[in-house]
Chains A and B, each alone.
Chain A
Amino acid sequence: MKLVVYLKPSPITFTRPIDGGKYPLLDSVTTLRVAARAGQQSGLGVGESPSINVVLNNIDKRAATLLGNPLRLRAELYNTDNSLFWAGFISHLSNSSGASTLTIES
């Protein structure tokens, strides 16, 4: 699994530590619920936009330094077979001393 964030001037790719790479900071990904929307028909899905939280290791403030302010930037999450798992725009970033949690929303 890898996360590509389209930072400017060039995108960067976060990978899991086990996969190596230049930025092996990808820690975990929450479950994503994608539901169809159908206007006012109550039995069919009417809810929030799909979003997913991605947790990056922020030891030594490395993830926070790399990300800066990434709001509205495109982010893509790929499976280990390189197929696209989810794509959207960064709508929230929460930094703590140990973790940077990105919310990617469609």
Chain B
Amino acid sequence: MNLLLSENVPLRTTQDLGDFAEKTPLPQRFGDLTQTPFKLIRLSAAKFLAADHPMEITGAFINKAATLDYNIYTESDEDGHTWQVVEFGTPIPETDEASAVGRGRRNPKTGALIENPADIMEFVLKLCGRSETFGRLRAEAAGAGVVLAGSITEIKSIRVTLDDVAYSAGAIWTPLDARLYPVIDPLPPFTVLTKMNTENVVADLDITDTADILHLSYAYSDALNKPLKFIELTASPQLYGGLVQEIILPWISSPRVAEAVGRRWLHRLAGDRRTVTLSSGETSLRPGSWTELRAHPEWGIPGTDPKIMVLAVDLNADSSSVQITGEAVLSTPLVKLTAHSVALPPVLGSGVTLKVGAGIATFTLEDDQQPPQPIKGARATLDGGPAVTSNAAGEVAFPVVVSNPPKAHVLRFVAPGKAPIQMEVLL
């Protein structure tokens, strides 16, 4: 099976399990999904599929409410496929939704979670009968602590599936190589480009992909169909009039990774970035190579010699040079974490969402009606401090000190006519 990158990832479907009523792809899950509920696929009234492979299940939910009335086990077929089953103690009505949390695929040799972006991408390619490896990305991601968590639930092309993973990691890739990019301080080795091996150097400045503020949503839950967490990063100085860019990185689940990747993205978006084109006799250069243009007379911008990441190469077999397009970020702003918010796990019956900004944590309390209604008049405390009463929008606000990684705080509230609720909140 030699699948092209433009062809679809061959996920199995429910039809492979003998259910011909509805053709639903069987998901592949990766990383720590203990905080981001995923949908279970119905196999019968009480039996649901979690993933098309064995995985650890740490919790299960019916209509977002936690339940302990379930068993987990794996099933296999004669072709060697094994899948993870969650079976509830009682039949689940067709109108109800079942979801779960847990940890995804593990390396069959080491038993470690597959969560390095290079490992996930290589796994996808292997699933497609291909054998590319991304050693440099694996090493860079491990060094930077970039781990991902997510699910492949849709049948999409191989390249789009890999794009999704690489994008969340802050990485670029070709079939030949993958690297973390953008990066704030590129490390050697650099291929040195001088007037002896390089000519036709042009640096362009373009409005595409510029912003001063980054709104990054992450921790995507496919059960809730939305990202559960958010951070705002702000650049200083602001070169582009305070322009905001919104991005969703669905494969990130950790606040630490979200901030680190977000900082790298914003350095690129908010920095003085030039698109550089040139011709070089260094014909071995490929996308993902770092170069340094050293004392080149055609470089028309004052300042230090630029470090250029090669993004595209035009190769002609009969030519002794290659045409290169790359990027150089000449100066980067200071980037600060200015806000973050967390949608709390949907296990409490009442919905509570949280936004933090300018040193104020604002909780919105909603009941479990459909659609949810704000809870007015609830008495809330944070860490045992003074009680605050929720307003007509269901909001209560407390002054807080934002930290990353977030620290645990205790929110207690009593809604009129309901039992008191206490929850741990990460701020």
User: Could you tell me which A residues sit within 8 Å of B by CB distance?
Assistant: 1, 29, 31-46, 48-50, 72-74, 77, 79, 85-86, 88-89, 91, 105-106
B6 touches A49 (CB 8 A): yes
Minimum CB distance partner of B166 in chain A? A39
Residues of B within 8 A of A46 (CB): 163
Q: Mark B301-316, 1 if CB is under 8 A from A, else 0.
A: 0000000001111111
CA distance A32 to B310 in the complex (A): 15
**A-B contacts at CB below 8 angstroms, number:** 106
Supposing A36-B174, A40-B167, A41-B167 touch, asked if A49 and B5 sit within 8 A by C-beta, the answer is: yes
Minimum CB distance partner of B132 in chain A? A106
Q: Mark B266-289, 1 if CB is under 8 A from A, else 0.
A: 000000000100000000001110
User: Could you tell me which B residues sit within 8 Å of A by CB distance?
Assistant: 2, 4-6, 159, 162-164, 166-168, 171-176, 181, 206, 208-209, 247, 265, 275, 286-288, 310-318, 325, 327
B163 touches A37 (CB 8 A): yes
The residue that B163 contacts in the complex, of A38, A48, A50, A91, with Cβ under 8 A, is: A38
Minimum CB distance partner of B248 in chain A? A40
A37 touches B286 (CB 8 A): no
Residues of A within 8 A of B164 (CB): 39
Supposing A41-B209, A106-B4 touch, asked if A36 and B287 sit within 8 A by C-beta, the answer is: yes
Q: Is the interface of A mostly helix, strand, loop or mixed?
A: loop
Supposing A37-B163, A37-B166, A38-B167 touch, asked if A105 and B314 sit within 8 A by C-beta, the answer is: no
Residues of A within 8 A of B315 (CB): 31-34, 85-86
B6 touches A89 (CB 8 A): no
Supposing A49-B5, A73-B2, A106-B5 touch, asked if A38 and B314 sit within 8 A by C-beta, the answer is: no
Residues of B within 8 A of A43 (CB): 206, 208-209, 275
CA distance A31 to B322 in the complex (A): 10
Residues of A within 8 A of B209 (CB): 41-44
Least Cβ–Cβ distance between B62 and chain A, in angstroms: 34
CA distance A79 to B4 in the complex (A): 23
CA distance A32 to B166 in the complex (A): 23
A44 touches B311 (CB 8 A): yes
A36 touches B317 (CB 8 A): no
Minimum CB distance partner of A79 in chain B? B317
CA distance A86 to B311 in the complex (A): 17
CA distance A31 to B167 in the complex (A): 28
Least Cβ–Cβ distance between B99 and chain A, in angstroms: 26
